[in-house]
Structures are given as C-alpha cells and as structure tokens.
Structure 1
Amino acid sequence: MPVTNDTKIAVVTFPVSKSGSGPLLNLAEVLLKRSNNPLYVITGNEGSKVGNIDARVRVTSISHRPKQHIFSRGIAYAITQLRISVSILKVAKSVDAWLFFVGGELLIFPIVSAKLTRKPVILLFAGSPLYQSTVQKNRMRPVIFLISTFNRLLCENLIVYSPMHISEWNLGRYRHKILIAHRHYLDFETFTVTTPLPDRPALVGYIGRLSGEKGVQHFVQALPAILSDRQDLRVLIGGDGQLKETIEATLQEQGVSASVELPGWISHDDLPRYLNQLRLLVLPSYTEGLPNIMLEAMACGTPVLATPVGAVPDVIVDGVTGFIMENNSLECIAENVNRALNSPDLERIAEDGRRFVEEHFTFERVVARWKEVLEEV
C-alpha cells in the first residue's frame, strides 16, 4: 500500500532525551509538509515538545525514568513498552501507517501491536542499538540481537539514512525492503558564518553525547599528544552523558584540564555561537547515522574531522569538504587533528563544505525525497 498525501501517519518512539528531541521535531516538520492531515505522535519525555510545532500534531506523551539496577531497569522498560502499545491500539482507527523512529528498533511490544492493526509498519533507523551494543560490549547484546532481528523481519519497510548503513549495520538480508531517506535539513539563517575562520581562536572541539560509541573518550586521551604540538591550542568538549565524570577525571590525570573547556549540554540555540568559535570539530565515532552536528558545523564554516562511519562519507570527502581519519585510535586522532589544522587549504575546505550542505540539506529537498519514499512503501 503506497503511503499517499491522504495517508494518516503515526510516528512512534521510545520516550526521548534532549539529544533525541531534535531529530523527532525535524521528522515531524517534514511529514507535516507532505499533507494537511493530522500527524499522530506517540513519544515521551523531551519528545513531547513536538506538540508545540503545529496544531495538527496529536501527541500521546508517556514518561519514562531509567532505573539504575539492571532488573528494575528491565521492568521499567517493559512497562513503558506496554504503555506505548496501549496508546497504539487507542489511536489505531485514526491511523493508516506506523513509522517507528528513535528507539524503535527495540520496541517489540509496540511493533507487534502495530502489526495487529493490519496497517503498514515502517522502521526508520536513527542509529543501530545492535551495532552500538557490539561496540560497547554490552552483556545484553544477545537479547538486543533477538529483539532487533524479530522487529526487522516484522516491518514492511526499513528506512536508513545512507546506503552505507546496509553493510555497516548488517542489513543486507533486508535489502529488498530497504529505502533510503534522511530527515536532516538546516535553517541556514541560524547556522551560518558569523566569524570567519581566520578570525577564530586556536580552538578545536567535540560537541555531542558523552558516550562510548561516540569515541569521545579517545579524543580526550589523545589531547596530551595534540596539545604538546600546539602550545597555543585550547579544547572545547560540549555535551552530557554517561562518560562525563570519567572524562573530567581523565583530564585531571593527564594534567590538561586548564586547556579544556567543559560547558556541559549546549542548547540548540547556542550551537551556532560555539561552532563559530571552532577552528576544527572532531567526531571520532565508532558508529553514526547522519550526525546533525557535522552538518551544522559545516554550515557555520567549521571544518569537520570525522571517522568514515555511517553516512559521514556521503558528506565528507577528505581534503575536499572536510577531513577523514581512518580510525579513532589515539595516534590517528592526534595525527589528523594536526594535519587538518596545518592544512594550507583549510579555508577552502571549510567553504566547500559549507556550500555542499547548503545545496543538499534544504527543507524542500528533504520533503521531496520523503514524498518519493513513502509512495514506495
């Protein structure tokens, strides 16, 4: 069944954090543009703000508080899934298709509930919990594998941001039902160059979630080698997450705390100001979807150095629109930070990167692609 402009869609997510609310709002804006119909959203926590963007959004908000102990965490997680399932059944008569997004790959009870309504179920990957569990050596990986595989089989279609994700996330067996679309667009009046690159201080940084799959711990561990070559250099590490205290302790042990600024979580409104201070943004991730911060930095004329994971190689060509480092080992990070900062083409690369995102990440272009993709469902 093709999803046409008349199709009423419900977006379903696990209750999301601050980092997940932006992607959800972007997706909602895109889906609202394709139709005058209401958009149903079942989400929670920070995701509930999606109801503020348009009167047509019908939000069912479910709160969730993660627990510390593994047993109580599992019980709370299952209860939240059951509450989402009940919400799905309540709005089912008003909905023609289900689109699972942030956290959706592990929502086994809700996906089964959605299948029972006999309406198309689509899974849009924001990331891959299964791949992340492998990187983090999560002891729950066997359970995540079973749930993820079951849900992938149940869904009529899987949507990923880039063809690169098919091999990286081991989705080859589902190739027949995979579609390619991202929900990324930028406001180029907000994310723009306010401080030319030559006028910026000697400042490099990382902005994002402070968690293992982002590789930020390796960037921190590489700082002594980076700073030893550049005495004038300062470092910004913006964000929050489970590694925050570990990072603070590591900086103290390495004796580089005086050279590092830790502003904590940076709001979306403040991002352009921080990005316009940086000479280089470093993203040493193990896995990515299509990182917003990469696009936002490039729009602000800030060169990006990243690992070639997820959709990153679709955007960054080394020495053309940014810089690629082969891996996130300490030596590789330090070597490539120095390579990028010392590049005689740094300004040209920043400008070419800015032009690339301005051409490819407009709202109109994303809406047009989603109309095409939904007609293939």
Structure 2
Amino acid sequence: MTDSKNVGIITKPLGSGGTVPVSNLVDILASVSGQVFIVTSNEGANLNPKKNEKIIINSFHYEYRTDVFGKIFENFSLQTRISFSILQQRKNINTWVFFLDSHVFILPVIVAKILGNKLVFPLAASIKGSAKAQNNWLNNLLILFESITFIFADRIILYSENLIRDWDLTPYSSKIIIAHRHFLDFNTFTVIALFSGRSPIIGYIGRLSREKGVLNFTQALPAILSEQQDLRVVLGGDGQLMEAIETSLQEDGIAARVDLPGWISRDNLSGYLNQMRLIVLPSYSEGLPNIMLEAMACGTLVLATPVGAIPDVIIDGKTGFIMENNSPECIAENVKRALDSPDLEQIAENGRRFVEENFTFERVVERWKKVQKDL
C-alpha cells in the first residue's frame, strides 16, 4: 500500500451503524493511497456521499435470513460475489483490506492470496469475544475460519498492544501493526450543553446485541433507579435484543423512566450525547468504540468495561470510569460511584481534551503513512 498505489476494501454487509468506521477508513486510505475500490453490501452503497473520484464502490444486496440454511446460502453467495470482484480487479489492485470482520470470509481471502495480493486485516473487534457472548455454533465456526485466514494475512492492524493478549493474537505478533482509524469531526461532536446544566440522564447508545452487554445494563437499571429517584435513562439503538429489553423494562416497572428512541442518526447523535451526564458501555468485547470518543468530545462521562483499547483512553477517575466487569451488580455499583464523584466536571473536561488532542484526522493520517511503509 504505497503512495499512488490502488487499494481495495472488503466489508461485511453494513447497516446504519457500520458506515461510520468504514467511511473513516476510506477517507484515510484515500489520503495515503491512489484509487480506493470498495466491495460492500447494503448501506455500504452510501459510503461516498461527496462523490470523491478516487473512490469506487461495488455494492451488493445481502438478505438477512433467520434460518440456518438461509444464512449459509446467503453468506456463500456473498463470498462468491466478493471473490469475483477481486478477480475483476486483479490488474488494478494488489492490496486488499478486509475490514469489520470480513477477514472471516474465507473464500475471497484465499482467492486474493492465490492472486498474489497483500492482505491487511484491521480488526475492529474480537471474533472470539463476540462468539462467546452469542454462544452458538455458527459463531464458533467463525473462530475456525479466522484461525485459517490469519495464516494468509500479511498484516494485522490493532488499535492497541493490549489487544494482542486480550484477543489471543500472540502467535501472530510478527504480523501486527498498531494503528487506529478513529478521528472525529469536532465541529459536530462538541459541547453544546455545559455539564453543570445537564439533567440527571444516563444512557447507552449502540447496537442492541449480546456482545455489547446492553441486557446486563437493562437488568442493572432497577437498582440504579431505586437509588436515584430523579434519574432518567436513554437506551438508543436497534438490534435483536429490542423486544427482550422492552419486556424487561415492563416487568421491572421502570419503562416510564427509560426512553427507547430506536436508532439515532448521525445528525442527532451529538444532541443526545449532550443531554447525558454519563454513558455506559458494558461490552464483553470491543476494539476502540466510536461512541466512547464521540461522547467524550461532547463532554459526557464514560463508564466502560476494561476491554479492547478502552483502557488506553479511559483512565479511571481521570478521563472517565472503568468497571471491573459487566455484571448487573457491578454496573449498578459503578454508576452510583461515577455519579457521586465530586470531580465529575473536571473528569469530563479531561476526557474532552484527550480526544481533541489524539483523534484528529491529521494525526491518524500521519500514523497510516507509517503503516503503508511497512507493507
């Protein structure tokens, strides 16, 4: 991936929430490479809103199926189409970046390797961590596929050295480069409402899925709300656990104090974050979550589990708060600890300054220029 060389990006099928990390990566690669060719699905068709001539998108429709055989068929069909795109671009592209778990697409990985392409895997999350949270045989199969595709990888890009140990990647240490692709638009993500003037609101914003630990947070709410009579909660996002969350809130008699706005658009995200005093990220597995950085830029406190690259950003009591695990009891205890802290405003300000200093587009591009020299 040298200057003026073309690069290809493969993604899994994208929903609304997946476009932001891919869009960031595309902007970075367009700045350090030649043409960027994207093979994606669904919402990925909208990755080039500014009509940058360097960016070409080949997008498919992927149908989400609930039955096992339907899932297998759709996945195999998608991998076949991706492989065909790689074959079509064999004279134009010699480096393929498999992003957002697409490195488990074993067929296109093998096709690209047979063609002599360099393969780069920027890992956004742990397949093993997600599989443990989901606990089904299909996700366990992905662990096997990942172990195979890692053999073919030329470079594995992580957000933090901590992830080498956390994600059991020590056998691949010689292939690993540390670099993140996170940068923020600080005109959008900024402090609109001063922390001292915010209502007592806490929340969660993200995908409503098991690996995010959001059900654990929901189960912690009765204890949290019983001690904080004026507290309200926002649970923003959509996903497979929406119905279970709604049922839990009704059964616990707290639905009236919890707002469920559904998926929050990028245009409205800063407004929601500026309402909150505290956002809770109780994930089982993470890379470097965008919502954490966006919240900090808006002057919102973050309480998170010490997974992925989060401990590189959140220093407990300094730039945010860390909880030992994501059990409902631990979440409730640490929400109280955070809200009772006498230094809330200073901690929020420390967090805001940290992201403004470390997550600009210019700093990220400089790091990726060094990455490309290693390829």
Give the TM-score taking structure 1 as reference length: 0.97
Aligned to 1:332: 330
Distance 1:283 1:158 in 2: 25
Aligned to 1:212: 210
Aligned-partner SS, 1:269: helix
Larger deviation, residues 141-150 vs 99-108:
141-150
1:360 aligns with one of 358, 361, 367: 358
Distance 1:173 1:43 in 2: 30
2:49 aligns with one of 43, 48, 52: 52
Q: Tell whether the 8 Å contact from 1:321 to 1:349 is kept in structure 2 after alignment.
A: yes
1:70 aligns with one of 68, 71, 91: 68
Q: Tell whether the 8 Å contact from 1:285 to 1:328 is kept in structure 2 after alignment.
A: yes
* 1:269 correspondence with 2:267: yes
Q: How does 1:15-94 map to 2 (within 5 A)?
A: 15-35=13-33, 37-53=34-50, 54-94=52-92
Q: How does 1:108-127 map to 2 (within 5 A)?
A: 108-127=106-125
Distance 1:15 1:266 in 2: 19
Q: How does 1:265-304 map to 2 (within 5 A)?
A: 265-304=263-302
Q: Tell whether the 8 Å contact from 1:130 to 1:148 is kept in structure 2 after alignment.
A: no
How far the C-alpha of 1:52 sits from its partner, in A, is 2.5
1:80-132 CA distance string (max 9 Å, x none):
11011001101121112111102322110111111121121111112122321
Distance 2:167 2:202 in 1: 30
Distance 2:204 2:361 in 1: 26
Distance 1:68 1:140 in 2: 12
Aligned to 1:150: 148
Q: Which amino acid aligns with 1:44?
A: S
Aligned identity (percent) is 51
How far the C-alpha of 1:212 sits from its partner, in A, is 0.2
How far the C-alpha of 1:51 sits from its partner, in A, is 2.9
* 1:222 correspondence with 2:220: yes
Distance 1:284 1:304 in 2: 10
Q: Which amino acid aligns with 1:143?
A: L
Q: Which amino acid aligns with 1:307?
A: T
1:114-171 CA distance string (max 9 Å, x none):
1121121111112122321122212224422221100011111111111111111111
1:11 aligns with one of 9, 12, 16: 9
How far the C-alpha of 1:15 sits from its partner, in A, is 2.0
**Unpaired segments of 5 or more residues in structure 1?**
none
Q: Tell whether the 8 Å contact from 1:206 to 1:283 is kept in structure 2 after alignment.
A: yes
* 1:174 correspondence with 2:172: yes
Q: Tell whether the 8 Å contact from 1:40 to 1:57 is kept in structure 2 after alignment.
A: yes
Q: Tell whether the 8 Å contact from 2:129 to 2:284 is kept in structure 1 after alignment.
A: no
CA RMSD of aligned residues (A): 1.0
Aligned-partner SS, 1:52: coil
Distance 2:140 2:370 in 1: 36
How far the C-alpha of 1:330 sits from its partner, in A, is 1.1
How far the C-alpha of 1:71 sits from its partner, in A, is 1.1
Distance 1:123 1:141 in 2: 19
1:251-301 CA distance string (max 9 Å, x none):
000000010000000001110000000010000110001000000000000
| Alignment length (residue pairs) | 374
| Deviation >6 Å, runs of 4+ | none
Distance 1:314 1:173 in 2: 23
Q: Tell whether the 8 Å contact from 1:50 to 1:57 is kept in structure 2 after alignment.
A: no
Distance 1:124 1:224 in 2: 39
Give the TM-score taking structure 2 as reference length: 0.98
Distance 1:129 1:142 in 2: 9
Larger deviation, residues 293-302 vs 64-73:
64-73
Q: Which amino acid aligns with 1:89?
A: L
Larger deviation, residues 206-215 vs 9-18:
9-18
Aligned-partner SS, 1:94: coil
Aligned-partner SS, 2:128: helix
Q: Tell whether the 8 Å contact from 1:105 to 1:129 is kept in structure 2 after alignment.
A: no
